[in-house]
Amino acid sequence: MTPAAGDGPAEPGPFEANGVSLADGVVLLEASAGTGKTFALAHLVLRLLVEKRIGLRELLVVTYTNASAAELRDRIGRRLQEALTGLQAPDGWAVPDPVLVEWLARQPAEPAARAAVQGLLLLALEELDAADITTIHGFCQRTLRRHAMEAARPPELTLEADAADLVRQVAHDYWQQQVLALPLHLVEGLAEAIDLGDLERLLGQLDGDPGLALDPLPAGLGLERPLAEQLEALWEAPWARFRQAWSDGGRDLEQAFRAAAAQWRAAGASATTPYAVKPRSDRSEVVDAWLTQQPEGGSYAALMAQKELGSYFHPDPFCKAARKAEGPERPIRLPGHGLLEAVASVREGPAETVLLHGCHWGRAELARRRSRSGSIGFAQLLEGLDPGPEATAPTPLLRAVGERYRAALIDEFQDTDPVQWRILRLAFPGDAHLLVMVGDPKQAIYRFRGGDLDTYRLARRSAARVLALQENRRSTPALIGSLNGLMAPSGLPRSGLPVPAVLARSRRSGPDDMAPVRLLWLGGRRAAGEALPSRRALEARLPALVA
């Protein structure tokens, strides 16, 4: 299987620790688990120091947790010390690996030149504690402090340990000031669809991930006026559309549902609930009678309490019934599409509008309160450097970053979100910097820390060179062989990702009486076409299966 069109080379070239070019440009190094990416990064730092004469203070090394940053700093320090020891060649010292043997063989034999290299390594070891080997948030925090003028921020920012309390306060204030001030019928209707916890959860997600974009507010709704002055008008229009659509097609929709149930039965469906060929009652008549009792302007509370409009004359129950009766592959055709759309709009629209307005209001309010207090959240560290989605040239702040560093090595690149990629590509343009990104595209599908597969693919297309670490030194040859065989036919088909085979270089061996890979069928004894087990049922079975 090949990557999606435009993803770059289908087969990346092999990474050679001592042979890869250190010329300026964007390099993507793809590395599966256990293929030695930390070793590769540490050796690249050694080569940049010696061959490019880049000091540690001119080098940025970024990873994604404090623990991995500490480990990477230790590994870099050990690599530099090993190289220094090898240059000094003490009696009885064994070179720890073939890569270093090859590197030492390339170093000058002339004493003065060799002493110069040793001096570079000694200086780097002295500067190691001050080097920018850090997390992405640590890099942003240091940058905002160093370049406070370009960032238009105070040099002393208080970093929040936990933004949950501030998010909770803002969500509560919005609910009290904006939602509870609405007309009673809207408040009661909203209470059936959403609650304060929904807003708090969404606002927390937005606050924690600056890469998440909000839809714009609809016409007629803004942040400068109270919600109560605006939402009533936004309720009246969908209510009027629904009443007209129902008057024109309510009875026809009931007949279309009966016809659909007849088709499902004729095709062999065992159940068509809640739809039937001959229902016990005409539900369109129930809605007709309910509408005659409603005021001209309608009531959101009464609408949300009307059972048939939520559980019968609504796209959601029809789609569920159609999917169960027709199978997962056939496209669903909605009868009375305009009327069903009007029902969904008038039921879900006000709640969705309030949540959207609350998220816009909450984001702005969080920024105001942080500005007043001189504090900043982890996600806002990224926002402080973000030039914006439309930016095509670096801001003064990012130009200052680019002038400080000559090279950047980015670990765990598959966890990079769109904001981080904008910062990196504009701060370190390939014509003036070496930008090395190390990542495993297979892990991007999990969206750890906001990582995004599309962002990874975009970066891959931007890379001048795509290389791969192809040797696994962690797992047994039997396990690697089994996984290679499992992934060889199609890779990860839903993501369109190939999974290239890796070479087993470990001498480990697993238990003789156990297969290296076992596949567990979680579908139970169900027949073809039956519904899959529920998540709760699977979670109840998994511990015993895994054990």
Residues 334 and 431 placed together within one structural domain of the fold = no
Domain that holds residue 314: 239-299+307-339
- CATH code for the domain in which residue 439 is found: 3.40.50.300
Residue 535, domain member (yes or no): no
Domain boundary (469, 499, 522) is at: 469
Residues 335 and 408 placed together within one structural domain of the fold = no
Domain boundary (469, 493, 521) is at: 469
Residues 291 and 410 placed together within one structural domain of the fold = no
Q: What is the per-residue pLDDT for 528? A: 62
Q: What is the per-residue pLDDT for 110? A: 94
Please say if the pLDDT value at position 6 is more than 60: no
Residue 397, domain member (yes or no): no
Residue 349, domain member (yes or no): no
Please say if the pLDDT value at position 273 is more than 70: yes
Would you state the structure tokens that stand for residue 77, as one six-digit string? 């320090």
Angle in degrees, 0-180, between the axes of helices 196-208 and 337-373, rounded to the nearest 10 = 60
Please say if the pLDDT value at position 152 is more than 80: no
What is the C-alpha separation between 302 and 139, in angstroms, rounded?
53
Residues 253 and 139 placed together within one structural domain of the fold = no
What is the C-alpha separation between 156 and 141, in angstroms, rounded?
10
Residue 417, domain member (yes or no): yes
462: enclosing H helix or E strand:
helix 453-462
Residue 344, domain member (yes or no): no
Q: What is the per-residue pLDDT for 3? A: 43
Over residues 464-517, the pLDDT tens digits come to 999 999 898 888 998 989 888 988 888 888 777 788 888 988 888 877 777 888
User: Given pLDDT bands bounded at 50, 70 and 90, which one contains residue 10?
Assistant: low
Residues 329 and 411 placed together within one structural domain of the fold = no
Q: What is the per-residue pLDDT for 182? A: 96
Residue 184, domain member (yes or no): no
What is the C-alpha separation between 70 and 75, in angstroms, rounded?
9
User: Given pLDDT bands bounded at 50, 70 and 90, which one contains residue 535?
Assistant: confident
Residue 431, domain member (yes or no): yes
Q: What is the per-residue pLDDT for 5? A: 42
Q: What is the per-residue pLDDT for 150? A: 81
Would you state the structure tokens that stand for residue 254, as one six-digit string? 């009931």
Domain count, the chain: 2
Alpha-carbon dihedral sign for residues 339, 340, 345, 348: positive
Please say if the pLDDT value at position 523 is more than 70: no
Q: Which of 220, 243, 250 is nearest to 303 (CA)?
A: 243
Give the mean pLDDT of the chain: 90
Over residues 354-407, the pLDDT tens digits come to 999 999 999 999 999 998 888 888 888 888 899 988 899 999 999 999 999 999
User: Given pLDDT bands bounded at 50, 70 and 90, which one contains residue 77?
Assistant: very high
Domain boundary (439, 469, 499) is at: 469
User: Given pLDDT bands bounded at 50, 70 and 90, which one contains residue 1?
Assistant: very low
For a pLDDT cut of 90, what percent of the chain falls above it? Answer: 60
What is the C-alpha separation between 476 and 546, in angstroms, rounded?
20
Residue 291, domain member (yes or no): yes
Q: What is the per-residue pLDDT for 428? A: 95
Instruction: List Cβ neighbours of 103 (8 Å cut-off, separation of 6 or more).
Output: 17, 18, 43, 46, 47, 83
- Tokens 């030194």 belong to residue: 473
26: enclosing H helix or E strand:
strand 25-31
For a pLDDT cut of 70, what percent of the chain falls above it? Answer: 96
Q: What is the per-residue pLDDT for 64? A: 83
Residues 31 and 108 placed together within one structural domain of the fold = yes
Residues 23 and 110 placed together within one structural domain of the fold = yes
Q: What is the per-residue pLDDT for 415? A: 82
Query: Which parts of 22-135 fold into alpha helices (H)?
Result: 37-51, 66-88, 98-105, 111-127
Please say if the pLDDT value at position 8 is more than 90: no
Q: What is the per-residue pLDDT for 4? A: 46
Range from 48-62, 336-350, 491-505 carrying the lowest mean pLDDT: 491-505
Q: What is the per-residue pLDDT for 265? A: 93
Residues 21 and 138 placed together within one structural domain of the fold = yes
Q: Which amino acid is at 352?
A: E
Over residues 190-235, the pLDDT tens digits come to 999 999 999 999 999 999 887 788 999 999 899 999 999 999 888 9
Range from 62-76, 370-384, 415-429 carrying the lowest mean pLDDT: 370-384
